[in-house]
């Protein structure tokens, strides 16, 4: 039957954890179990509160063998006891917020994050009576000062979308621990290969598995990795009650992608290093942000905290007008790189994020927090997700449009 244990090496774990030959047929590759219900061998309760770790499969919103296999594979890679997969990365983020937080609680959220999470924190949580402080996570003093008696959660993201700013996870875990709060981290950009978030004290490690973990741009999903008892609570709340479960077909596709994650992350890093180094020497690129470059303002933290620098690069080209003109050219003229949102796929993707637009819609920062964003992003950045193509083809494609 399915094995959830980790092996010595990450590659073996990625391939074999969570799966095994089918006991009925000997099939080496996993089947997809699409059934929504299961024939019971004895009478059982049908409330989420009857759930236990050895409950048999009962109904697809409670658990599904194909989804379970993926959860065990991701937990083994992340090094946590357990994992819950959900319908999207946003479903994973809202699962954490809506399970850990209640009306009257306080949460500290990174002031720069994935846009959907930024808007959830600014609009939805306050509407539910949850107090939100938006803090620059690189300013550890400000994080400690933001702690209140009712602080239940600190939510970080590293590297942070879209500016590639890093957060010192061990330091934030320490602040959370002394505040009696939990620490959740969106580790989508790093993947389980790029950093060992749970080892650094993170209680809830979340991923948009639409990105690196799935890796092929053909299935949307999300995951939260945590201790078994925390995953049980999330399962009752977010899966069984809120209902945002991952489909078995997507789980099967994403598990197939996960098998090659360690191999792909090495190639993403190699390609990103080559393109980032080339961009840094290009006269039109005014700033290049890649954690693997010695010029990244937090390269020392990156070297300490990350085992793989991943494939995400942010770069600036002049002022907002120059950036916008170039973005329009990219959309029309790039031949290899797709001008599209999303990231972490085998196809390279690029997207223009003007600072003024990001401030109006998702981030709404002012004063020192705005200045700190602008230090990284200038008037706007190109977010480039390096895929698995040959670096020379990506460089030729960029060189043509940069001129």
Ligand X SMILES: *Cc1c(COP(=O)(O)O)cnc(C)c1O
Question: If DSSP codes are grouped into helix, strand and coil, which group holds residue 19?
Answer: coil
Segment contacting ligand X (CB under 6 A): 23-31, 78-86, 186-194, 291-299? 186-194
| Interface residue with ligand X, options 222, 291, 378, 380 (CB under 6 A) | 222
Closest separation between CB of residue 187 and ligand X, Å? 8
90 binds ligand X (CB under 6 A): yes
* Selection from 221, 205, 167, 214 nearest residue 78 by Cα: 205
Segment contacting ligand X (CB under 6 A): 95-103, 111-119, 271-279, 327-335? 111-119
Q: Pattern of binders to ligand X over 3-42, x per CB under 6 A? A: ----------------------------------------
Q: Which is nearer to ligand X, 179 or 221 (CB)?
A: 221
DSSP at 388 = S
For 396, other C-beta atoms within 10 Å of its C-beta total 12
User: Quick check: 203 and 169 in contact, CB under 8 A?
Assistant: no
Q: Which is nearer to ligand X, 212 or 315 (CB)?
A: 212
| Interface residue with ligand X, options 4, 80, 210, 385 (CB under 6 A) | 210
Closest separation between CB of residue 265 and ligand X, Å? 15
116 binds ligand X (CB under 6 A): yes
> What is the rounded end-to-end Cα distance, in angstroms, of the chain?
56
Tokens of 356: 């003024």
- Between 391-402 and 261-281, two packed helices, what is the crossing angle to 10 degrees? 40
| Interface residue with ligand X, options 82, 188, 195, 316 (CB under 6 A) | 188
Residue 73 neighbours by CB under 8 Å, 6+ apart:
13, 14, 17, 18, 19, 255, 258, 259
* Selection from 311, 279, 316, 317 nearest residue 292 by Cα: 311
Closest separation between CB of residue 273 and ligand X, Å? 21
Q: Which is nearer to ligand X, 213 or 388 (CB)?
A: 213
Q: Which is nearer to ligand X, 179 or 268 (CB)?
A: 268
User: Quick check: 141 and 159 in contact, CB under 8 A?
Assistant: no
Residue 397 neighbours by CB under 8 Å, 6+ apart:
334, 335, 336, 337
Nearest residue to ligand X, by Cβ distance, number only: 89
Residue 40 neighbours by CB under 8 Å, 6+ apart:
56, 58
Q: Which helix (H) or strand (E) holds 152?
A: strand 151-157
194 binds ligand X (CB under 6 A): no
Encode 264-285: b = buried (16+ Cβ within 10 Å), e = exposed.
Answer: bbebbbbbbbbbbbbbbeeebb
Question: If DSSP codes are grouped into helix, strand and coil, which group holds residue 385?
Answer: strand
Task: Please tell me the count of residues contacting ligand X according to CB under 6 A.
Answer: 16
Closest separation between CB of residue 184 and ligand X, Å? 12
114 binds ligand X (CB under 6 A): yes
Closest separation between CB of residue 310 and ligand X, Å? 11
Segment contacting ligand X (CB under 6 A): 113-121, 254-262, 269-277, 349-357? 113-121
Q: Which is nearer to ligand X, 6 or 214 (CB)?
A: 214
161 binds ligand X (CB under 6 A): yes
Segment contacting ligand X (CB under 6 A): 112-120, 191-199, 248-256, 376-384? 112-120
Closest separation between CB of residue 141 and ligand X, Å? 25
Q: Which is nearer to ligand X, 235 or 250 (CB)?
A: 250
| Interface residue with ligand X, options 78, 186, 230, 379 (CB under 6 A) | 186
Q: What phi and psi values does residue 270 have, to the nearest 5 degrees?
A: -65, -45
Question: If DSSP codes are grouped into helix, strand and coil, which group holds residue 363?
Answer: helix
Tokens of 244: 């945002």
Closest separation between CB of residue 12 and ligand X, Å? 27
158 binds ligand X (CB under 6 A): no
| Interface residue with ligand X, options 101, 108, 220, 306 (CB under 6 A) | 220
**For the chain, how big is the Rg over CA atoms in Å?**
21
Q: Which residues bind ligand X (CB under 6 A)?
A: 88-90, 114, 116-117, 157, 161, 186, 188-189, 208, 210-211, 220, 222
């Amino acid at each position: 039957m399915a094995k959830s244990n980790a092996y010595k090496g990450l590659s073996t774990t990625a391939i074999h954890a969570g799966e095994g030959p089918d006991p009925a047929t000997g099939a080496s590759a996993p089947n997809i179990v699409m059934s929504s219900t299961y024939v019971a061998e004895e009478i059982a309760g049908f409330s989420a509160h009857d759930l236990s770790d050895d409950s048999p499969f009962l109904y697809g919103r409670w658990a599904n063998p194909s989804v379970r296999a993926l959860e065990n594979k991701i937990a083994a890679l992340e090094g946590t006891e357990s994992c819950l997969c959900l319908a999207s990365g946003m479903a994973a983020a809202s699962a954490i917020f809506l399970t850990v937080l209640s009306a009257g609680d306080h949460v500290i959220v990174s002031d720069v994050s994935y846009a959907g999470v930024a808007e959830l924190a600014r609009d939805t949580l306050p509407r539910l009576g949850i107090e939100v402080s938006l803090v620059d996570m690189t300013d550890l003093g400000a994080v400690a000062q933001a702690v209140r008696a009712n602080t239940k959660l600190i939510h970080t993201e590293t590297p942070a979308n879209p500016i590639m700013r890093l957060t010192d996870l061990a330091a934030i875990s320490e602040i959370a621990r002394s505040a009696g709060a939990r620490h959740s981290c969106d580790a989508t950009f790093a993947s389980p290969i790029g950093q060992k978030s749970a080892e650094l004290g993170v209680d809830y490690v979340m991923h948009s598995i639409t990105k690196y973990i799935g890796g092929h741009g053909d299935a949307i999903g999300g995951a939260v990795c945590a201790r078994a008892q925390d995953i049980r609570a999330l399962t009752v709340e977010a899966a069984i009650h809120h209902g945002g479960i991952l489909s078995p077909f997507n789980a099967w596709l994403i598990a197939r992608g996960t098998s090659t994650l360690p191999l792909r992350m090495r190639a993403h890093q190699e390609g990103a290093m080559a393109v980032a180094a080339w961009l840094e020497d290009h006269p039109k690129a005014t700033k290049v942000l890649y954690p693997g470059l010695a010029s990244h303002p937090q390269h020392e933290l990156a070297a300490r905290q990350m085992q793989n620098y991943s494939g995400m690069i942010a770069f600036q080209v002049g002022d907002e007008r120059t950036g916008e003109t170039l973005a329009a050219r990219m959309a029309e003229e790039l031949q290899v790189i797709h001008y599209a949102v999303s990231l972490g796929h085998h196809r390279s993707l690029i997207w223009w994020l003007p600072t003024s637009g990001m401030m109006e819609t998702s981030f709404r920062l002012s004063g020192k927090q705005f200045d700190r964003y602008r230090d990284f992003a200038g008037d706007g950045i190109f977010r480039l997700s390096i895929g698995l193509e040959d670096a020379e083809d990506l460089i030729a494609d960029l060189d043509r449009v940069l001129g």
